[in-house]
Structure 1
Amino acid sequence: MGDSSNITLRLFDLLDINDFMVWATDDQVSKFCSWDTYKSKEAVMRYITDVVIPHPWFRAICLDNRPIGAISVIPNEGRDGCRAELGYVLGSNYWGRGIATRAVKMVATTIFTEWPHVERLEALVDVDNPGSQKVLLKAGFQREGVLRKYCLLKGKTRDIVMFSLLSTDPQVN
């Protein structure tokens, strides 16, 4: 099935529910995510309706126009308005193919154009998630350091690695 050259990003709609369910119900995928694995179609439907659709920048990562993951950018406000936070998730069947890296590069190029006030794109990754750390490094992000005991994840305090990409950084192609 397709390779990373067939990757596109698009808005989600409610017709994507079954594709969304594939990764949202996968414990492997949600392991390092802030959200718990979804258990019902109704809960995913509420999430898409209440969070995804009204979100300022939330896109489906599509392979041949079929959603296989999601990527979002959360803008900061006020004095932190020069920064935004990147988050992404990809179905486990698609890990290790360069798809997430391609999607992250696409978002970085797009977000700095769409939101010219954003000069810094950040990503926070669990120290025990080397796959996601590799994605960001390959996409041109800088590893800035470890934020010790930074957040609670699934009831445990976790160390998080901070990555950043500046609007002035050369993009890795």
Structure 2
Amino acid sequence: MEHKEENGDEFLDITLRLLDLSDVDDFMVWATDDQVSRFCSWETYTSKEAAVEHIVDTIIPHPWYRAICLNDRAIGTISVTPNKGADICRAEIGYVLSSKFWGKGIATLAVKMVASTIFVEWPHLERLEALVDVDNPGSQRVLEKAGFQREGVLRKYFLHKGKPTDMVIFSLLATDPQVNYFM
């Protein structure tokens, strides 16, 4: 999946592709950054071996996990995790981006790229959700700019690194007009 967009004086050549072991050095750039992992469910990585294990055990077998690439270099990841059973009509989107690229519209563009295709790839999907820490306004803004609706705050919803945390829930429906960004 590829998209080029003008951002000020430069073009963003953003692609989404499968992340594999050859990306481990790029993965380590953001995975070792405490600023990046602050709102992630995982702890900051301290070893390349642990990162390789995570890529092999979690990322590669995941049903929908992609590297966010700038000029074909992995600078973050984005995933869609499906629900099962009676909840199969819903899935959760999550993303992480190297702090060096924050505030450049890259995360928003990646979310829009996923939103424009995931409902086609998974025709049973009716609702794409995102849960964001109440103290993470940057990620909340990404979702708002991508057309997601803020639905409310889920109090003490998630144990984040052992601490009950309030989360903001956002959603995008298959029928929302902004789903057809690039079509």
User: TM bucket by the smaller chain?
Assistant: over 0.9
Q: Counterpart of 2:44?
A: 37
- Check conservation: 1:144, 1:163, Cα contact below 8 A: yes
- Given the alignment of the two structures, is residue 118 of structure 1 paired with residue 125 of structure 2, yes or no? yes
Aligned to 1:62, the other structure's residue is in SS state strand
Once residues 155 and 28 of structure 1 are traced to their aligned partners in structure 2, the CA distance between those partners, rounded to angstroms, is 18
Deviation, 1:13, is: 1.2
Output the TM-score relative to the length of structure 1.
0.97
Matched, 1:141 2:138: no
Q: Give the Cα separation in 2 of the matches to 1:5 and 1:125.
A: 25
- 2:105 maps to 1:98: yes
Are the counterparts in 2 of residues 83 and 120 from structure 1 also a CA contact under 8 Å? yes
Which residues of structure 1 form unaligned runs of 5+? Answer: none
SS of corresponding position for 1:60: strand
- Partners of 1:63 and 1:5 in 2: how far apart? 7
Partner in structure 1 of residue 158 of structure 2: 151
The equivalent position to 1:171 in structure 2, one of 168, 178, 182, is 178
> Which amino acid counterpart does residue 158 of structure 2 have in structure 1?
C
Provide the rounded CA distance (Å) in 1 between the counterparts of 2:59 and 2:159.
23
- Please point out which of 83, 89, 113 is paired with 1:76: 83
Native 8 Å contact 1:120 1:164 kept in 2:
yes
User: After superposition, what is the alpha-carbon deviation per residue over 1:29-68, rounded to whole angstroms, capped at 9, x for unaligned?
Assistant: 0001111101100000000011111110000000001000
Instruction: State the TM-score, normalizing by the size of structure 2.
Output: 0.91
Matches within 5 A, 1:48-59: 48-59=55-66
Measured in 1, the distance between the counterparts of 2:26 and 2:10 equals 18
Indicate the structure with greater strand content.
2
Matched AA of 1:22? V
Whether the 8 Å contact between 1:3 and 1:99 is mirrored in structure 2 is no
CA displacement at 1:3 relative to structure 2: 5.2
Structure 2 CA distance for aligned equivalents of residues 86 and 4 of structure 1:
25
Classify 1:151/1:162 alpha carbon distance in 2 versus 1 (closer, same or farther; 3 Å): same
Query: 1:5: Cα distance to partner?
Result: 2.9
Aligned residue for 2:12, secondary structure, equals helix
Percent identity reads 73
Alignment CA distance shift 1:3-1:75 (3 Å): farther
Q: Secondary structure at the match of 1:23?
A: helix
Q: Which residue of structure 1 aligns with residue 137 of structure 2?
A: 130
Which structure is higher in RCO with an 8 Å CA cutoff and minimum separation 6? 1
